[in-house]
Structure 1
Amino acid sequence: MSDAASKAIDRAMGALVGGALGDALGMPTQLLSPARIAELYGHVDDFVAPVADHPVSKGLLAGTITDDTEQALLLGRILVESGDRFDHARWVNALLDWEREVKARGSYDLLGPSTKRAIDAINNGVPAEKAGRGGDTNGAAMRIAPVGIMMPVAPLDALVAKVAETCRATHNTSIAIASAAAVAAAVSRGVAGGGWRAASDSAVAAARRGATLGHWVTGGDIAARIVWAQDIVRGKAAKDAIRLITDLVGTGVASQESVPAAFAVLEVAGGDPWQAAVISANLGGDTDTIGAIAAGMAGACTGFSRLPQQHIARLVGIDMSEVRSLAADLVAARVAKKSSGKDAAA
């Protein structure tokens, strides 16, 4: 294996495992207010268990990943199995199988609203190409990292088109595609060796293109909100930044809140994946998804080897050998696309 391929796999692993760290750290604080988080835990800077009456995370062990990570790994496997043309039917069937599994585990409440609504519609006979027409929340962005690993950032149109294809069944709207495209482009720039500031620049360009795809829905422009969210927290202390993100940007499941919030977190953390996870966990709202996105992007820009290994060892619900194999397969596909010059969105 070449040195370049090894570095790319390390960055790909950084994206996937960084996302898992942010997901697991935010798992017990999701849906809670910043005041309630402080009351229960003080300042969250390590894995903690959710309270017994938590609305969605009750019963999970400290360090447990949620649907954010599970869906990202699932999407990654479908991308590898699909080859050059994304297998939409395989993806829908995989989502339906996964839904049955999480229901059996008693974790259905962890599903985001757009994904849950689309899966229910497909189960009721709605064609998959129509099921995602109303999906405008952050479920596509939370799981999109494998597309960023597999797709080179240039040509950008090919990357964004691949993002849109994976969004069709659950998040086929302009705002969700723009959000997912931003995250995928940031990850792709990181896997290519770029730093987090360069990744943010690529994200803004991708969001602008993604906003032209899918079914148009109303909402703040994702590209503009990413730039604005990073601007308002730049140079601020973490405590002050958390308040600005919570009060102004928003931390709900809406794409126009949580995705710009994740980029603001990336700014405050200075591209440090663990700090991105910690900041996200204390925001309140959709902490696990914001953490998964922010720490995943940061991890792509730093690499797995620079992640806190002592925390990785305590993750629950993730098979690191499978993650490493997936990262290698996605990077191999990326290298093949660059070598052949194929438009992988075809």
Structure 2
Amino acid sequence: MAAEAIDRAMGALVGGALGDALGMPTQLLSPARIAALYGHVEDFVAPTADHPVSKGLPAGAITDDTEQALLLGRILVESGDRFDHARWVNALLDWERDVKARGSYDLLGPSTKRAIDAINSGVPAEEAGRGGDTNGAAMRIAPVGIMMPPEPLAALVAKVAETCQATHNTSIAIASASAVAAAVSLGISGSDWRAASGHGVAAARLGATLGHWVTGGDIAARILWAQELVRGKAEKEAIKLIVDLVGTGVASQESVPAAFAVLEVAQGDAWRAAVIAANLGGDTDTIGAIAAGMAGACAGLSNLPQDHIAELKGIDIAEVGALAEELVAARTAKTGPGKEDAA
């Protein structure tokens, strides 16, 4: 059971990287521009030389979505039972400096950038995230889903909220991140993507009661609506529905329901989810990272396309494996071997 859980944990992290890297060159572009440049994206491609944020990156390169997920995973392991808020903020600040040194500061999401700038200006970390309502928390939350058992759900959502405090301490962001973490968590327990999606909706309802309230569509309701909207539709039609009606921007209430809709269209296939997301336009890398990460948690690394994994750049699969083992060990310590119920 531990080996299977680690395989699924790896599936979540590497699946997320696949979605991130496939969507890297198409992020911020319109569907029409993507079609003009690439036709239909089916494999890793390089960004254009004038891309506003991805220029210079090679095909298959990961972005901030994967980097921050792995960073959060390491802080979770180092923190133990109580999330080390100061360590996380300092790690984000160090990461920001490294991103700037690489010339990629524009890859930071708006809520995280705003919060880091506020912290740099002396605003207490617990106050810096009170306006963060975009998808940065949801894009990096998979490690919480790996580490936390799916039940009790309140404990999982509380851990999500804890990690959101510095950058995304709002009802919408916490609901969105809770949905993704809960879906990943149930996947690690052995459930399929349909059950995982349902658990995500329940977590979104609970997460919406936490953090600073901000206006916006209810995340749980929008996930259910987005999935129903595309259910049974052909892929091309589903993509148009997601783009036109659900939305693919950085707002949590667009991109997170869009990711669950992509999971529905892909029927739980992580690579297919990554491909669909890459062709949506908008925040393609984040939608792809979330959708393929949830799918990967339910499928496991062993069921992901190994040839595409070998083409990823900017990620050390051995290091990811070591992190997955540590997160699963922390999860097992909370439940005891054999005690977890995936029902």
TM-score above 0.5: yes
SS in 2 for 1:239: helix
Q: Distance in 2 between matches of 1:318 and 1:339?
A: 31
Tell me by how many angstroms 1:135 deviates: 0.1
Percent identical pairs in the alignment equals 85
Q: Distance in 2 between matches of 1:299 and 1:246?
A: 23
Q: Are 2:63 and 1:49 aligned?
A: no
> 1:19-42 CA distances to partner (integer Å, 9 max, x unpaired)?
000000000000000000000000
- Please tell me the residue identity of whatever aligns with 1:86: F
Q: Which of 195, 198, 201 is 1:201 aligned to?
A: 198
Q: Are 2:64 and 1:67 aligned?
A: yes
> 1:81-106 CA distances to partner (integer Å, 9 max, x unpaired)?
00000000000000000000000000
Q: Which of 32, 41, 45 is 2:29 aligned to?
A: 32
SS in 2 for 1:242: helix
Q: Which residue number corresponds to residue 12 of structure 1?
A: 9
Q: Distance in 2 between matches of 1:226 and 1:62?
A: 31
Q: TM-score scaled to structure 1, two decimals?
A: 0.97
SS in 1 for 2:48: coil
Identify unmatched segments of 5+ residues in structure 1: 341-346
> 1:216-262 CA distances to partner (integer Å, 9 max, x unpaired)?
00000000000000000000011000000000000000000000000
Q: Distance in 1 between matches of 2:162 and 2:84?
A: 9
Q: Which of 89, 103, 116 is 1:119 aligned to?
A: 116
Q: Are 2:156 and 1:143 aligned?
A: no
Q: Which residue number corresponds to residue 186 of structure 1?
A: 183
> 1:117-140 CA distances to partner (integer Å, 9 max, x unpaired)?
000000011100000000000000
- Please tell me the residue identity of whatever aligns with 2:143: P
Q: Which residue number corresponds to residue 128 of structure 2?
A: 131
Q: Distance in 2 between matches of 1:130 and 1:277?
A: 35
SS in 2 for 1:324: helix
SS in 2 for 1:51: coil
Q: Which of 242, 262, 269 is 1:265 aligned to?
A: 262
Q: Distance in 1 between matches of 2:318 and 2:121?
A: 36
> 1:248-281 CA distances to partner (integer Å, 9 max, x unpaired)?
0000000000000000000000000000000000
Q: Which of 153, 164, 167 is 1:170 aligned to?
A: 167
Q: Which of 97, 102, 106 is 1:100 aligned to?
A: 97
Tell me by how many angstroms 1:311 deviates: 0.4
- Please tell me the residue identity of whatever aligns with 1:62: A
Q: Distance in 2 between matches of 1:187 and 1:274?
A: 16
SS in 2 for 1:79: helix
Q: Distance in 1 between matches of 2:336 and 2:278?
A: 40
Q: Distance in 2 between matches of 1:85 and 1:134?
A: 24
Q: Distance in 2 between matches of 1:83 and 1:128?
A: 20
Q: Which of 276, 279, 293 is 2:276 aligned to?
A: 279
Q: Distance in 1 between matches of 2:311 and 2:193?
A: 26
Q: Distance in 1 between matches of 2:304 and 2:152?
A: 29
Give runs of aligned pairs for residues 233-244 of structure 1, distance below 5 A. 233-244=230-241
Aligned length: 338
Q: Distance in 2 between matches of 1:200 and 1:313?
A: 28
Q: Distance in 2 between matches of 1:223 and 1:72?
A: 23
Q: Which residue number corresponds to residue 344 of structure 1?
A: none
Q: Distance in 2 between matches of 1:69 and 1:253?
A: 16
Q: TM-score scaled to structure 2, two decimals?
A: 0.98
Q: Distance in 2 between matches of 1:238 and 1:127?
A: 46
Identify unmatched segments of 5+ residues in structure 2: 338-343
Q: Which residue number corresponds to residue 107 of structure 2?
A: 110
Q: Which residue number corresponds to residue 340 of structure 2?
A: none
Tell me by how many angstroms 1:197 deviates: 0.2
> 1:155-185 CA distances to partner (integer Å, 9 max, x unpaired)?
0000000000000000000000000000000
Q: Distance in 2 between matches of 1:258 and 1:124?
A: 30
Q: Distance in 2 between matches of 1:143 and 1:182?
A: 12
Q: Which of 311, 317, 323 is 1:314 aligned to?
A: 311
Q: Are 2:327 and 1:334 aligned?
A: no
Q: Distance in 2 between matches of 1:320 and 1:271?
A: 22
Tell me by how many angstroms 1:339 deviates: 2.1
Cα RMSD over matched residues?
0.9
Q: Are 2:115 and 1:82 aligned?
A: no
SS in 2 for 1:31: coil
> 1:48-89 CA distances to partner (integer Å, 9 max, x unpaired)?
000000010000000000000000000000000000000000
SS in 2 for 1:28: coil
